[in-house]
Structure 1
Amino acid sequence: MVALLILLATAPLFPFIALAIKVSSKGPVIYRQLRVGRCTPEKMDLFQIMKFRTMYIDAEQRSGAVWATENDPRITPVGRFLRKTRLDELPQLFNVLKGEMSMIGPRPERPAFYQKLEDEIPYFVERTYGVLPGITGLAQVNQGYDACIEDVRRKVGFDHSYALSLGSFYSWITMDLSIMSKTLIVMIDGRGQ
């Protein structure tokens, strides 16, 4: 319900964002990428995440799968603005409506990184047991994007704290409202990466 309301409220921005992306660089407006969704010890769900494209086409053709960095040359000028304001994440509202994501939860990882992170970070996988990945989350509003494995290691602690908040209705609502308000501040202040 919340995702639908936000989608309806932000839909007027979509044509302007699409035009800016098309004018600034070649390629599609929407970028799709395989991500790891909800996990259990027996099963790992994969889905196609949707975002407004912020990088040049074939940005990882030479480098392979790598985390984005500050001042990353693969990011277009329009893409830099979209990332700072987190507007690039708006198409993920469709992922929420399809039941692949939730508004709040741990960030969905790329399969290319998942196995390495699982091997190097204790309890990495458990952070997604029974929890849908989210557009925003406690880790995202407190730390930003990942640049290295140490960033992910810190985020796992935030993800586990969020999972613990789901234990009671009051703590869950309090945590979600706090995360949503911090997300709005990050977007307005342009503190995304």
Structure 2
Amino acid sequence: MKKWEDLPVEMQLPEVREYYDVLNKKKGSLFLKRVFDIMVSSVLLVILSPVILLLSMAIKLDSGGPVFYRQERHTQYGRKFRIHKFRSMCDGADKKGSLVTVGNDERVTRVGKVVRKCRLDEIAQLIDVFKGDMTFVGVRPEVGKYVEKYEKEWLATFLLPAGVTNLTCIYFKDEDEMLAGVDDVDREYIEKILPIKMKWNLKGIKEFAFWNDIRLMFMTFFTVCGKEYREE
């Protein structure tokens, strides 16, 4: 983690300092976290290569267009990167509606429905984890449109790389259904859902520990398998 004075100026705020001091005392856990990310992502990319190949073929045959959905997101220190996700919607979907997916979204393809239900689109993010743009457990990367609405304290979420999963992925696993039927999806997300997510994101930073990451990865796996978790 960078020294405080080396952080982007916009992050050098009293509201962020509290979280920085917590993480700065856990350099050992942060080192283990990165080693774990590199080792596990590289192994999984090899093991899951047949699945990756089959998914790529299914997406191509189903709707043509690119296999991956590449969108600009924000990660550690507010840096921009282009995320990898297996495409589950029609090509150019972000230009045909909200950046947030809602229930029964017509932009979702036939294969995409299965991909989203089983969260197979996230497998592609192993590439981002290996590269260091993401980590297995951390705050989900947002698009600039929503980052612009961040409160000062929320900038603390940029102290760590963006994550594939965290508590909000577990508690908001049916987010698309929650937004179904809402007239102004973006407004609903920014004003009601995002603040609740940030409460859990900031809580996760304060309680960060390497073994908590492992626990959350298992919770995510069981959630995909159908287990329900309620907010603590």
Alignment TM-score, normalising by the size of structure 1 = 0.84
Percent identical residues? 31
1:4 equivalenced with 2:42 (yes/no): yes
In the alignment, which residue of structure 2 is the partner of 1:157?
199
| Higher-helix-fraction structure | 2
Displaced runs of 4+ in structure 1, greater than 6 A?
none
Give the distance between the partners of 2:216 and 2:171, measured in 1 at CA.
9
Supply the RMSD in Å over aligned alpha carbons: 1.9
**Secondary structure at the residue paired with 2:82?**
strand
In the alignment, which residue of structure 1 is the partner of 2:148?
115
1:188 equivalenced with 2:225 (yes/no): yes
1:99 equivalenced with 2:161 (yes/no): no
**Secondary structure at the residue paired with 2:214?**
helix
2:76 counterpart letter in structure 1: R
Larger Rg, first or second structure (1 or 2): 2
Say if 1:84 and 1:190, in contact at 8 Å, map to a contact too.
no
In the alignment, which residue of structure 2 is the partner of 1:169?
none
> Relative to structure 1, is the Cα distance of residues 115 and 71 closer, same or farther in structure 2, using a 3 angstrom cutoff?
same
- CA offset digits 1:125-180 (Å, max 9, x no partner): 2222x2111011121122224642222211111111110122xxxxx134212211
Alignment TM-score, normalising by the size of structure 2 = 0.71
Q: May I ask how many residue pairs the two structures share in their alignment?
A: 177
> Among residues 121, 125, 129, which one is paired with 2:155 in the alignment?
125
- CA offset digits 1:97-123 (Å, max 9, x no partner): 11111011000001122113x1xx562
**Secondary structure at the residue paired with 1:91?**
helix
Give the distance between the partners of 1:66 and 1:30, measured in 2 at CA.
16
Could you list the runs of 5+ residues in structure 1 that have no partner in the other structure?
167-171
Could you list the runs of 5+ residues in structure 2 that have no partner in the other structure?
1-38, 180-188
- CA offset digits 1:32-79 (Å, max 9, x no partner): 11001112xxxx20001001001101223243x431011111111211
Give the distance between the partners of 1:5 and 1:151, measured in 2 at CA.
35
1:136 equivalenced with 2:170 (yes/no): no
2:154 counterpart letter in structure 1: F
Give the distance between the partners of 1:7 and 1:104, measured in 2 at CA.
17
Give the distance between the partners of 1:132 and 1:189, measured in 2 at CA.
28
